[in-house]
């Protein structure tokens, strides 16, 4: 993040200030201590005069300053110590007129050593305060007179140390500022280069669309530097100009907007722009070249239309073929039924068996053709529901009676759970029967002899729930993900051969046509439960209260 990086850079610029300030204070302490030692050695000052305590106070302030300079945030405390020490030294040597009065400037000199402009004001204020204290004390208090013997060299030492210290600090401060300016210029140069070489066109605009600054790629045909003071809508193709102006208006009032347009200089181009509001009278815009993306979208749209057309053609072909196949198949089934019933006289047992096989095979093929026809109509969006009011229990019960014989031949117990009150539904009766039939057929196919299939029909508000649960072999997770798509089957080869793979897909499609859904829960060896929910139940109407008899006059 840019903010974090800038903060980190500022901290890096401050790190050299701590060693420099510590070295500055150490040098001042050494000079002051050396001056005091020299005075004692050369006999220029009395051992117990006021000069040595004053120099000791200043040396102590310098030593404390050197130590505190190494800690973050201790600069203000250091300047305060310098103000107190300077005022004390001045008071010990005669006040504002004494030889050490120049040390009142020590706080400002120390502030410059920290190389921080913000501390100069504090240092100047503390220096002014120390000088004011020294001057007022000289007027109001009986201060000791300035030492005559050492006044000259003390004044010279004070002026020299303060002058050199302040000069060194200011030079260091100016150098720190120069380095900071160079770093800022380098960062600005790098940022400008990054903006100029990035693939988008970045703009700042007035809400009316006039361009203030531009960086990045030349996407509008005027050159990036030539965009200043141009109106963005004027650089847009005529047909898209109104959309861009409207997006600018929305961004100015709501904060953000997007638009796409053909640039005026390139009729074959396609650009997308995102607007974001910056304050009350600025808008930021990011323009990107979306020609390749638009071409890909067009290709995908063409591929989608082509796939839909091919799928619709396949569905129409299947529907037509199903109709063509049903006509001769009905004749085959009719003649085979006549033969197996021996309506025109006796027939050999072998021929009777063949006629039975022909009729069974024809029935199976007719079921397959009907499933294919229904699925093709649904995929071609030509299947229309014939909605009517009926008791859903009757439709489910009819299928149960039809499948009872098949369940007995398979050795499977078929049970029904339905409420005693009617389940009034507004739905396609044939579709409800087909859903129930397909679910029971699948359950019987995958339930071994001795198993159980339970069919439940119940209401939940306005939702009809059809639940078929079996105690069969269950469905593997890999097969569970595929089921419900046309021609997808589960189980072994023998079980796959017993169906077309359209049963569950038709159940899902019929449920979806009614605004419902199908859910499958299963585990290998744990059986399977298929639940179909459709919002088709008609809420019972409340009975109107009988009118009260009229009172006799």
Whether 201-293 and 383-534 share one fold: the answer is no
Tokens found for residue 525? 């060896």
State the average pLDDT over residues 208-212.
Answer: 91
DSSP 137-165: HHHHS-PPPPPTTTHHHHHHHHHHHHHHH
What pLDDT was estimated at residue 455? 94
In this prediction the pTM is 0.44
Parallel, antiparallel, or unpaired: how do β-strands 387-391 and 517-523 relate? unpaired
User: Tens digit of pLDDT for each residue in 220-260?
Assistant: 888 888 888 899 999 999 999 999 999 999 999 999 999 99
d(C-alpha 24, C-alpha 34), whole Å: 15
Statement: residue 207 has pLDDT above 80: yes
d(C-alpha 494, C-alpha 6), whole Å: 72
Compute, in degrees rounded to 10, the torsion defined by CA atoms 78, 82, 84, 88: 150
d(C-alpha 397, C-alpha 412), whole Å: 17
The answer to whether the beta carbons of residues 268 and 237 sit under 8 Å apart is: no
pLDDT band at 414; cut points 50, 70, 90: very high
| CATH number for the domain formed by residue range(s) 383-534 | 3.30.565.10
Where in the chain are the domains? 17-190, 201-293, 300-342+352-378, 383-534
User: Tens digit of pLDDT for each residue in 118-167?
Assistant: 888 888 899 898 888 888 887 777 777 766 667 787 888 888 888 888 88
Statement: residue 79 has pLDDT above 70: yes
What pLDDT was estimated at residue 204? 92
Lowest-confidence pick of 34-38, 123-127, 213-217, 261-265: 34-38
pLDDT band at 169; cut points 50, 70, 90: confident
Whether CATH 3.30.450.20 fits 201-293: yes
What pLDDT was estimated at residue 9? 41
State the average pLDDT over residues 469-478.
Answer: 83
């Amino acid at each position: 993040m840019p903010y974090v990086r800038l903060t980190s850079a500022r901290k890096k610029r401050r790190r050299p200030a701590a060693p420099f300030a510590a070295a500055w204070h150490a040098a001042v302490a050494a000079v002051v201590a050396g001056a005091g030692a020299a005075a004692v050695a050369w006999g220029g000052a009395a051992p117990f005069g006021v000069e040595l305590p004053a120099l000791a106070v200043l040396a102590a302030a310098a030593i404390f300053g050197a130590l505190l300079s190494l800690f973050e945030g201790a600069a203000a405390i250091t300047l305060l110590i310098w103000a107190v020490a300077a005022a004390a030294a001045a008071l010990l040597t005669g006040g504002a007129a004494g030889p050490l009065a120049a040390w009142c400037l020590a706080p400002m000199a120390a502030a410059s050593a920290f190389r921080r402009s913000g501390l100069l004001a504090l240092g100047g204020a503390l220096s002014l305060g120390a000088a004011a204290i020294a001057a007022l004390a000289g007027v109001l208090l009986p201060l000791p007179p300035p030492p005559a013997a050492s006044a000259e060299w003390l004044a010279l030492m004070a002026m020299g140390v303060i002058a050199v210290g302040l000069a060194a600090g200011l030079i260091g401060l100016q150098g720190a500022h120069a380095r900071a300016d160079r770093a800022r210029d380098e960062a600005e140069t790098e940022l400008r280069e990054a903006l100029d070489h990035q693939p988008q066109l970045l703009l700042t605009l007035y809400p009316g669309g006039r361009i203030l600054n531009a960086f990045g790629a030349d996407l509008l045909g005027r050159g990036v530097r030539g965009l200043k003071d141009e109106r963005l809508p004027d650089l847009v193709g005529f047909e898209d100009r109104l959309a861009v102006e409207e997006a600018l208006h929305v961004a100015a009032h709501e904060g953000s907007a997007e638009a796409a347009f053909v640039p005026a200089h390139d009729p074959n181009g396609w650009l997308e722009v995102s607007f974001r509001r910056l304050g009350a009278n600025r808008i930021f815009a990011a323009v990107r070249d979306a020609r390749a993306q638009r071409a890909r979208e067009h290709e995908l749209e063409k591929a989608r239309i082509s796939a839909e057309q091919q799928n619709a053609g396949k569905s129409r072909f299947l529907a037509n073929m199903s109709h063509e196949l049903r006509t001769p198949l009905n004749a085959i089934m009719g003649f085979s039924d006549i033969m197996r019933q021996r309506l025109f006289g006796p027939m050999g047992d072998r021929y009777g068996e063949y006629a039975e096989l022909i009729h069974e095979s024809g029935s199976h093929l007719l079921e397959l053709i009907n499933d294919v026809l229904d699925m093709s109509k649904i995929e071609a969006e030509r299947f229309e529901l014939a909605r009517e009011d009926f008791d859903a229990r009757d439709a489910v019960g009819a299928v149960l009676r039809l499948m009872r014989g098949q369940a007995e031949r398979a050795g499977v117990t078929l049970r029904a759970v339905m409420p005693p009150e009617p389940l009034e539904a507004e739905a396609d009766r044939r579709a409800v029967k087909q859903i129930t039939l397909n679910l029971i057929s699948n359950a019987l196919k995958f339930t071994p002899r001795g198993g159980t299939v339970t069919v439940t029909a119940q209401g939940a508000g306005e939702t009809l729930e059809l639940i078929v649960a079996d105690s069969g072999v269950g469905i593997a997770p890999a097969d569970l993900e595929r089921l419900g798509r046309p021609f997808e089957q589960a189980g072994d080869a023998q079980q796959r051969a017993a169906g077309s793979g359209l049963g569950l897909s038709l159940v899902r499609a019929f449920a979806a046509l009614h605004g419902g859904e199908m859910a499958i829960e299963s585990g290998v060896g744990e059986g399977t439960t298929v639940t179909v929910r459709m919002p088709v139940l008609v809420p019972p109407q409340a009975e109107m209260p009988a009118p009260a008899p009229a009172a006799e006059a």
